[in-house]
Amino acid sequence: MATKPQESRQSEASVSQTDPQQVDHPADVPPQRGDLRLGCLVLMASWVVVAILALAAVRLFQWLSG
């Protein structure tokens, strides 16, 4: 009788391990979230570049006028 609970536990463990692989939707969602995060990162980086260029333009204008 001691082997039967172990076998059932192993079968439960194997079922729990294979469940995420069998379900397609959670596997499809993380790449979309990754793409969204990458898009947000690119957007934020572009705004930082725009801010740096604007600051450089203001400094150049002040240097030329002063």
What are the residue boundaries of the structural domains of the chain, listed by start? 35-65
Nearest alpha carbon to residue 9 among 57, 17, 22, 58:
17
In this prediction, residue 8 carries a pLDDT of 53
* Backbone phi and psi for residue 10, each to the nearest 5 degrees, phi listed first: -65, -40
> Residue 41 has what pLDDT?
94
pLDDT attached to residue 43: 96
Q: Which residues of the chain have pLDDT under 50?
A: none
Average pLDDT in the chain:
75
pTM of the complete model: 0.47
Quote the CA–CA distance of 63 and 65 in Å, as a whole number: 6
